[in-house]
Amino acid sequence: MTSDATAFDASTPLARELADLSQRRRQLATREYPLPSSPRVLTVANQKGGVGKTTTTVNLAAALARNGARVLVIDLDPQGNASTALGVEHRGEQQSVYDVLIRDEPMVDVVQQSPESENLFCLPATIHLAGAEIELVPMVAREQRLRGALDRYLAAMDEAGTPFHYVLIDCPPSLGLLTINAFVAAREVLIPIQCEYYALEGLSQLLNNIGLIERHLNPTLAVSTILLTMYDGRTRLAFQVAEDVRAHFPAETLRAVIPRSVRISEAPSYGQTVISFDPSSPGSVSYLEAAAEIADRGAPRGN
């Protein structure tokens, strides 16, 4: 039997899905991923837990790296999930983003290459970062610590002839000083929204906070991208949530939607992203499509 989906009876939903997937894969093969002229720094944030922030950060980063961009992931969550997914060492004694924020350690000494790709790098998080939320409070310029370190690092990499194209910052599910540092370091915010009933709850609080940061700490910050995640095409609810989000944020919401997929959730346990773990799976194809759209759109405000 041939594995070509078009050879199946096209009247069944599974056959249609498979045919659609192979068509999307063919389209991706010729798709361009234009590189930005200066590094785009995106913070992936949503104070709701478990909506797909980390999954989105590492898979978009891997998708962009696979298509020629040099990408840095900053793991700003003490859980260290992004570091795990990128196969990067982050045991307690390892130097980490904590040392950069609290001890002024230069990023160049802490950033590690991910085994996933020679274009993909990670500033890892260890459990020490949990204390940083408190330790930052009395520090001078406590909201700007990440920004300062990142600006110095990006300038040094540019000078060395190895410039970065994208920096993706994975935030913890809270709006504390770590997340504020991420908002101050970034120009763009990417909000993953889980396609479920409570999806929009808390979003106005997040947008208010981003507005506050924009007014007081980082006038160039803007929500550039919204990505619908964990979409279950069998439920009417997921469809309605997606429609709702698109109605509210027509310009920001990506056309690509990330399906709920077991392969996506399995990949981190192998220290991999779904892009390398199962490149032709629906989850991987969807993240590659989302990354292509992000690359196409460029930065807001003509960056």
Ligand X SMILES: Nc1ncnc2c1ncn2[C@@H]1O[C@H](COP(=O)(O)OP(=O)(O)OP(=O)(O)O)[C@@H](O)[C@H]1O
Per-residue binding letters, 159-178, with ligand X (x by CB under 6 A)? --------------x-----
How far, in Å, CA of 47 to CA of 256, rounded? 22
Binding-site partner at residue 264 among Mg ion, ligand X, none, CB < 5 to 8 Å by type: ligand X
Work out whether 138 is an interface residue with ligand X (CB under 6 A). no
**Alpha carbon of residue 216 to chain centroid:** 25
Report residue 178: phi and psi, to 5°.
-65, -45
Q: Cβ neighbours of residue 187 under 8 Å, at least 6 residues apart?
A: 40, 41, 42, 220, 221, 222, 299, 300, 303
Shortest spacing between CB 281 and ligand X, in angstroms: 11
Binding-site partner at residue 187 among Mg ion, ligand X, none, CB < 5 to 8 Å by type: none
DSSP state of 208: H
Work out whether 46 is an interface residue with Mg ion (CB under 5 A). no
DSSP 3-state of 256? strand
Of 54 and 181, which has the nearer Cβ to Mg ion?
A: 54
Q: Which residues pair with 231 in a beta bridge?
A: 259
Residue type at position 237: L
Segment interacting with ligand X, rule: CB under 6 A, options 47-55, 92-100, 136-144, 145-153: 47-55
Work out whether 53 is an interface residue with Mg ion (CB under 5 A). yes
Work out whether 260 is an interface residue with ligand X (CB under 6 A). yes
Of 39 and 259, which has the nearer Cβ to ligand X?
A: 259
Among 20, 27, 37, 50, binds ligand X (CB under 6 A): 50
Q: Cβ neighbours of residue 4 under 8 Å, at least 6 residues apart?
A: 22
How far, in Å, CA of 211 to CA of 189, rounded? 11
Residue count, binding to ligand X (CB under 6 A): 18
Of 39 and 80, which has the nearer Cβ to Mg ion?
A: 80
Work out whether 49 is an interface residue with ligand X (CB under 6 A). yes
Task: Give the number of other CB atoms < 10 A from CB of residue 136.
Answer: 19
**Contacting positions for Mg ion (CB under 5 A):** 53-54, 81
**Contacting positions for ligand X (CB under 6 A):** 49-55, 77, 81, 173, 229-230, 258, 260-261, 264-265, 283
